[in-house]
Amino acid sequence: MIKIPAFSLEYYDKKVIEHIMDKYAMSQMDASRAFLTSETHAMLENPEMAMWEFSDRAIFDMWETERITGDPRNSVYIRSEM
């Protein structure tokens, strides 16, 4: 089974959590919990989805879309409407 490299996952975790903290004024613990327990993060961990091809900003957009709509798949990055 192919897995996303740990260093890649760490990079995304760090960057997306920083974006959440900056935009939503959350503590690091709350931002970490919000991202690490999200469907977006589960998708990022799934090697079949190849989400590491997206930028950290795109992953943040997917997380934010999930927060607003309940489904990260509503993000323009996944719907390919860019």
Please report, for residues 5, 32, 65, 71, 76, the alpha-carbon distance to residue 79 in angstroms, rounded to integers and kept in the order given. Answer: 25, 26, 12, 12, 5
pLDDT given for residue 7 in this prediction: 84
pLDDT given for residue 82 in this prediction: 43
Residue pair 63/38 in contact (Cβ under 8 Å)? The answer is: yes
pLDDT given for residue 80 in this prediction: 65
pLDDT single digits (tens) 16-63 = 999 999 999 999 999 999 999 999 999 999 988 888 889 999 999 999
Give pTM, 2 decimals.
0.89
